[in-house]
Amino acid sequence: MASVAEDRLPAAATITSVAALDDDLRREMYAFIRRAQRPVTREEAATAVGISRKLAAFHLDKLVRANLLRTRSEPVGGVRRVGRTPKVYEPSGAEISVTIPQRRPDVLADILLDAVLAERADESARRTALRVAREHGAELGAAERARARTGRLGAERALTLAETALVRYGFEPSRPEPTRLRLRNCPFRPHTAKAPELVCGINHAFLSGFLTGLGVTKVVASLTPAPGHCCVELGVRCDPEG
């Protein structure tokens, strides 16, 4: 079954998370909590890095705001005592990766993994990958349409929604004109260089599926490879004359 691979932090939140670790104490405290493999109290974190409980609370709360830790109140050792239940901290589970320009190998990996699981006896591995890529894209497009709560989409409105969604996937879309969306970055590099025909085909199928899920027929995804750009461009369909 297709799934939209978007479980990582947005780019701005990722940068905030990385910046929070630019402090030796916070980085050491975060590493201690990850190694603990259980919820950790402020007192334990403070002792681990040799600072006061008050200073530890300051740094821990910074890590929570940076999406690196999550916190809740829980009795230490599961034993409820008189007084305020202490806060405990544990890793948030967020995966953080910074690349400039942004890369999304997880999207490609999800497509290829689902393709292995969904391969049919009557189709080649390549055809399966393209089919699954189209399904992934359609799921993303349908989710974007539901999020926008829009009715019938015109071409320019569809391109605006596509621009918003594809920013999150690292395509770096630009709008040289109202009826055309150029994608300035390929989020699947360096894999594109290893197998350009396959990866560009998957990318094209993914974006074509996205437009299908969006419910728009007047916009198409076209293979238009150019140095330093994504191989796909979105634009208004040109109907044949006559």
CATH number of 166's domain: 3.30.1380
Q: How many CB atoms lie within 10 A of CB 239?
A: 7
pLDDT at 228: 75
- State whether 23 and 70 are in the same domain: yes
pLDDT at 79: 53
Q: Which of 56, 91, 126 is the last residue of a domain?
A: 91
- Reference 101, options 20, 199, 11, 163; nearest CA is 11
> Is 1 inside a domain boundary?
no
For residue 197, the surrounding DSSP H or E stretch is: helix 196-214
- Reference 208, options 106, 157, 117, 137; nearest CA is 137
Give the contacts of 214 (CB within 8 A, at least 6 positions apart). 141, 142, 144, 145, 153, 158, 161, 162
For 107, the token pair is 């999207």
> Is 6 inside a domain boundary?
no
Q: Which of 91, 120, 143 is the last residue of a domain?
A: 91
Q: How much is the pTM?
A: 0.66
**pLDDT band with cut points at 50, 70 and 90 for residue 142:** very high
- State whether 58 and 142 are in the same domain: no
Report how far residue 225's alpha carbon sits from residue 233's, in angstroms, rounded to the nearest whole number.
Answer: 9
> Is 110 inside a domain boundary?
yes
- State whether 115 and 205 are in the same domain: yes
For residue 242, the surrounding DSSP H or E stretch is: none
> Is 167 inside a domain boundary?
yes
Q: Looking at the 3D structure of the chain, how many domains does it have?
A: 2
pLDDT at 242: 39
pLDDT at 1: 44
Q: Which domain holds residue 131?
A: 105-236
Report how far residue 154's alpha carbon sits from residue 162's, in angstroms, rounded to the nearest whole number.
Answer: 12
Q: Is 172 exposed, middle or buried (0-12, 13-18, 19+ CB in 10 A)?
A: middle
> Is 3 inside a domain boundary?
no
At 67-89, the pLDDT tens digits run 899 998 876 655 555 556 778 99
- State whether 201 and 84 are in the same domain: no
- State whether 67 and 169 are in the same domain: no
- State whether 60 and 160 are in the same domain: no
Q: Which of 33, 65, 91 is the last residue of a domain?
A: 91
Mean pLDDT of the chain, nearest integer: 85
For residue 214, the surrounding DSSP H or E stretch is: helix 196-214
